[in-house]
Every structure is written in structure tokens, then in C-alpha cells.
């Protein structure tokens, strides 16, 4: 991993380049650097407000990053009209640069620090929809059982893991913690995380997959009971049927 001093030098070089690029009218940091929580494992996250066409600036910066830092690969995360381009630099340094129009330059969450330019007041990113998460949860439980019966064991393991992820997201949503990519999972109390440990699949044996499914469904019902006892009561007999057939 690239030492933090080298990461800081990359960061400073990026900002210098942004300040000298006439197409860039604003720059901001996002991520752990905005809250003083960066270490040698942290990504570099930069948002750039582009005067004209974001794609032209993104392509120009991409060439520069390959020439200047020896970038090894990049890919785009779809987020029109912005371009979120993710680079892999030597030393396993991930660099995420958002190229967007001036009208899209502004914080949508708490991790934001304007470096230069005029930040707009934008609507925050919407929280995950609870009903959708619950729907995905029972969907994944059902398809886990289907895959076990069809002897599709790797797919069954996939659905159990996805179901666990949605349970963690539901708990984080309820407690006001970060929900994306399990970023709030380490902040959950042990009374919630300890019951999740038995949901981990220890082998692809059919009996083990059924055990893990049952443990995961139990945790899901406990989470639903905290916010919607009526729904938990309606779904409980269905889950009992699913895990006992």
C-alpha cells in the first residue's frame, strides 16, 4: 500500500493541476479526508465542477493521470450528467474523480469540503427505501430456498449474503447510520451484530445452507419487529413455512 505521505503528495498534485486547468471552476474533497479520518488505506475522492463538457475534461485528465502517475486502469460509475471516473494507481491507491457541470457542484451529504469555486445547495442523496429493502429481503430468502432445492449451492450462498446485507442496511437506516456499502455496519451495537454471525455460510452442504437461511430469517424478523410488529407477524408464518419444508 502506498504510504500516507505519498498519498498526500498525489493529493496535492491533483489540486495544483485542478487550479491551473481553465475548464475547472470548482473543486471539493469528499470522503474520509473531510473529517480527518484518512489513513494509508483511504481512497482519494475529488469532485470537479467543469465549465463546459464534463466528458472532455474527464478524457483529458485521464490521459494526464496515466502519464503523470502511471495509472493502471480506470472505469466509470454511471451518474449522468456527472462522470464518476475511478482510477487504480500504483501502490493500490484508488482515485475517484467526479466531473460534473457547475449546476451539480455542491454537497449532497456531510462529507464535503469546498476547496475553491461556488458550491450550490443541492438536495441530499435519498435514503434507501425501507419497503424495497424488505421486499428484496423476502425475495432473497425465497430464492435461497429455491436454489437449495435445485442444488444450486453457490447461488444459494449468494442470496444468503445478499439477504444479510439488506438486514444490515435496514438496521443502519433505522439508527440513522450510513447505509451504503455497509459503511455503518461497524457502528451497530453488538446486540445486533452478534446474531448476524451465525448467518455466515460455513460450507455448501445443503443442511448448512438451510441452517444459515434459518438464522438469517430469524435476524430479519427481529429487525422487522423493532419497526413494524404487524408486518413481522404477517411474514413470520411464511418464513416458518419456507425454512421448515
What does the block give as the cell for 172?
Answer: 443502519
Reported as a single tens digit per residue, the pLDDT across 69-111 is 999 999 998 788 899 999 999 999 999 999 999 999 999 888 8
Reported as a single tens digit per residue, the pLDDT across 188-209 is 999 999 999 999 999 999 999 9
If pLDDT is split at 50, 70 and 90, which confidence band does 32 have? confident
Reported as a single tens digit per residue, the pLDDT across 146-189 is 999 999 999 999 999 999 999 999 999 999 999 999 999 999 99
If pLDDT is split at 50, 70 and 90, which confidence band does 123 have? confident
Q: 163: buried, middle or exposed (CB in 10 Å: 19+, 13-18, 0-12)?
A: buried
Q: In what order do the strands lie in the sheet with 112-116?
A: 73-79, 82-89, 93-101, 44-50, 24-30, 112-116
> For residue 134, is pLDDT > 90?
yes
- 35 SS3 class: helix
If pLDDT is split at 50, 70 and 90, which confidence band does 40 have? confident
pLDDT value at position 3?
Answer: 80
Q: 102 near 53, Cβ under 8 Å? A: no
* Nearest in space to 106 (alpha carbons), one of 124, 120, 96: 120
Peptide bond into 81 cis (omega under 30): yes
pLDDT value at position 149?
Answer: 96
Chain position carrying cell 419487529? 225
Amino acid at each position: 500500500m502506498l504510504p500516507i505521505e505519498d498519498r498526500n503528495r498525489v493529493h496535492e498534485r491533483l489540486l495544483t493541476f485542478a487550479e491551473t486547468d481553465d475548464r475547472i471552476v470548482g473543486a471539493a474533497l469528499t470522503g474520509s479526508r473531510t473529517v480527518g479520518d484518512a489513513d494509508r488505506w483511504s481512497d482519494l475522492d475529488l469532485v470537479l465542477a467543469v465549465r463546459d463538457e464534463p466528458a472532455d475534461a474527464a478524457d483529458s485528465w485521464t490521459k494526464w493521470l496515466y502519464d503523470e502517475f502511471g495509472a493502471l486502469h480506470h472505469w466509470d460509475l454511471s451518474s449522468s450528467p456527472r462522470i464518476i471516473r475511478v482510477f487504480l494507481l500504483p501502490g493500490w491507491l484508488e482515485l475517484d474523480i467526479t466531473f460534473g457541470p457547475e449546476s451539480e457542484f455542491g454537497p449532497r451529504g456531510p462529507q464535503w469540503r469546498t476547496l475553491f469555486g461556488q458550491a450550490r445547495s443541492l438536495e441530499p442523496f435519498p435514503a434507501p427505501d425501507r419497503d424495497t429493502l424488505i421486499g428484496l429481503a423476502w425475495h432473497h430468502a425465497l430464492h435461497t430456498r429455491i436454489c437449495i432445492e435445485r442444488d444450486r449451492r453457490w447461488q444459494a450462498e449468494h442470496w444468503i449474503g445478499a439477504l444479510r446485507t439488506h438486514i444490515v442496511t435496514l438496521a443502519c437506516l433505522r439508527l440513522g447510520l450510513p447505509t451504503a456499502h455497509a459503511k455503518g455496519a461497524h457502528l451497530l451495537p453488538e446486540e445486533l451484530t452478534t446474531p448476524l454471525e451465525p448467518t455466515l455460510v460455513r460450507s455448501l452442504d445443503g443442511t448448512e445452507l438451510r441452517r444459515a437461511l434459518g438464522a438469517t430469517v430469524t435476524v430479519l424478523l427481529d429487525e422487522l419487529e423493532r419497526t413494524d410488529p404487524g408486518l413481522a407477524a404477517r411474514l413470520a408464518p411464511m418464513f416458518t413455512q419456507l425454512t421448515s419444508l
